[in-house]
Amino acid sequence: MRNLLLPAVALSLGLASFSSFLLTAHTPVPVSDIPTTAAPDPNTTDEVPQDNKLVIYQLMTRLFGNKTALNKPYGTAQENGVGKFNDITDKALQEIRKMGVSHVWYTGVLEHATMTDFSKQGGPGPDDADVVKGRAGSPYAIKDYYDVAPDLAVNVKTRMQEYEALIQRTHKNGLKVLMDFIPNHVARSYQSDGKPGGVVDLGAQDDKTKAFAPNNNFYYLPGQSLVVPKGGNPVGAALGPKEDGKFVETPAKATGNDVFSATPSVNDWYETVKLNYGVDYQNGRKPNFSPVPDTWKKMRDILVFWAKKDVDGFRCDMAEMVPVEFWTWVIPEVKKVKPDIVFIAEAYDPKVYSRYLNEGKFDFLYDKVGLYDGLRRLMTTGGNTDDITEVWRKESRGFSSRMLRFLENHDEQRIASKDFATDPRTAIPAMAVTATLASGPVMLYSGQEVGEPALKSEGFSGEDGRTTIFDYWGVPEHQKWMNGGKFDGGKLDDSQKQLRAFYSRLLNLASTSDAIRKGRFYELQDANNLGKEYDQKVLYSYLRYTDTQRLLVVVNFSRDKTLRPTISIPADVRKRIGLDPTAFCTYTDLLNDAPPTEFLNLTLPPLSAHIFEINPKK
């Protein structure tokens, strides 16, 4: 690990060079009294922010508590270890909560296809390796919606009770629980052993002679048998259980990623089958939504099952691959049972964002192709701050409070990996923007806060800059923070401790600040575009403000340039945010615990972030 000393703000108080940009304040003008009849200002929107500042900590349950450090490629659970529900202790949850986190997303909880044999422990046997990805298996190839993964339990027979205890433990420590809901596809081996009495299994009553029927749960290819793709190699050179290319599925079912062929490719989601929500894909996508399709009812019952176990929300996998009409119907159905339950959609198509929010009734959507992709370009020197402007001005205009922002998750490459930015400090300005640009949710992925680089090939996952979801593995830098179950960071080096402290300060500020949680937004790029030291390609600044608090956020994305801009806030903007343009004010960097100053003649080191609270000078 490199020396990751975090840059502290340096303030030059050269009054002579600063007089033309002096920022002053006096008696605040209530924000609600600002005239709204003027022409639209291109530096802001008329969106009224909603206080949706969930702070989500995503953890891959199988990996989080694993203390084993062997990390043998394609290793078994016995060799490489596997984290358990019980490893997520009170101490672990307390330390997560101290970072300002409000919700924990337990990823990979539902029972999924795996090559591990639990039959001797009173659980399921291994799945056919022909249709399993990796020895541990993908947590998105669900084998039983009504059960949890045996891997995650100390006692396989009491695995549900262990998960229920984790839910209760999480709540006891002041946190809420999110879990996956995977509505689009299931494992080819799907069969529920944990379903409640009276529940009919998916596909059990399907008419398999028809390619499509409104009340079938799956799509079929009558007269054809599945041909599993060659070259999957789920455990490398070795052979997994029943790995012979002869997995039997007759008639073949459509593959999860909308492949209506009996011969899916190795690059398809060949281990999964597509669920039928009443859309006849092979007949012009003709909808058949009345009467309510059987799959809709089955999925509602599954969601209600978990809601009654006191889960607080669902992250819905590939939500756009399921018709929006289903969400329109099912989300209110579940909220009848638990009104405050949260639905988050994994979404990638900006053209339908508003439809899935308004018609589909999702609480929040992923902001991946907008802010994440734009910040990634900035972090890898391939973009500029115009990418950020594009997001708030166009892509999420009007609903920024409902976009979930992040820099890492299980699908994306680690910031510290050689495939992304290498240096985890590049997250400092980017994460500051991620957490404070709007009043919507922000998410952190376990290991991000200590600079996990995802080195080595874990097995099926390969060396791709991601932490595996398919293999048994230990996460080395995270394990240093875990410190054998002490969860005290005892094995982190100084640079990692400083990085984690930055995340903690930022997320705590984001979760408690009135201006960040529900304040309006004003971009200052135009106001500073003539500044000699204001390099707009790498510097970004904006205001977040309410009647009671005013914040100025300034970040420097440059990896090697120290910049010394003087930030200008025009008189009309100072009036807009409730400041008297003719009086003095002070600026206190809340993010870096710096003393107040009366001036904003700044020295911004490379990869720095600053959040100044503006107050009238007393």
| Model pLDDT, residue 583 | 86
Q: Is the pTM of this model over 0.75?
A: yes
| Model pLDDT, residue 22 | 32
pLDDT digits (tens, 9 = 90+) for 540-579: 999 999 999 999 999 999 999 999 999 999 999 999 999 9
SS3 120: helix
Query: Phi/psi class of residue 325: alpha, beta or left (left: φ > 0; alpha: ψ in -120 to 50)?
Result: alpha
* Tokens of residue 272, six digits: 């999964």
Among 516, 582, 580, residue whose Cα is nearest residue 552: 516
CATH number of 519-616: 2.60.40.1180
| Model pLDDT, residue 480 | 98
What separation in angstroms does the CA of 113 have from each of 142, 150, 266, 367, 550? 6, 11, 17, 29, 51
Q: To 5 degrees, how large is the angle CA 87–CA 91–CA 475? A: 50
Among 547, 549, 554, residue whose Cα is nearest residue 515: 549
Distance CA 530, CA 534 (A): 7
Domain extent listing, the chain: 55-187+295-511, 519-616
Distance CA 593, CA 111 (A): 45
SS3 354: helix
Q: Per 3-state DSSP, what percentage of the chain is helix, strand, and coil (rounded to 5)? A: 30, 15, 55
CB atoms within 10 A of CB 332: 11
Among 466, 445, 448, residue whose Cα is nearest residue 56: 445
CATH number of 55-187+295-511: 3.20.20.80
The length of the chain, given as a count of residues: 618
| Model pLDDT, residue 38 | 58
Pairing type for strands 539-545 and 520-523 reads antiparallel
pLDDT digits (tens, 9 = 90+) for 11-30: 333 322 323 333 333 333 44
Q: What is the dihedral of CA 333, 335, 338, 342, to 10 degrees?
A: 130
Which residues of the chain fall below pLDDT 50?
Answer: 1-36
Burial class for 570, CB neighbours closer than 10 Å (0-12, 13-18, 19+): middle
Contact 499, 450 (CB under 8 A): yes
Residue 299: which H helix or E strand, with range? helix 294-307
**Burial state string for 179-188 with b = 16 or more CB within 10 A and e = fewer than 16:** bbbbbbbbbb
Sequence-distant (≥ 6) Cβ neighbours of residue 286 within 8 angstroms? 279, 280
Contact 383, 377 (CB under 8 A): yes
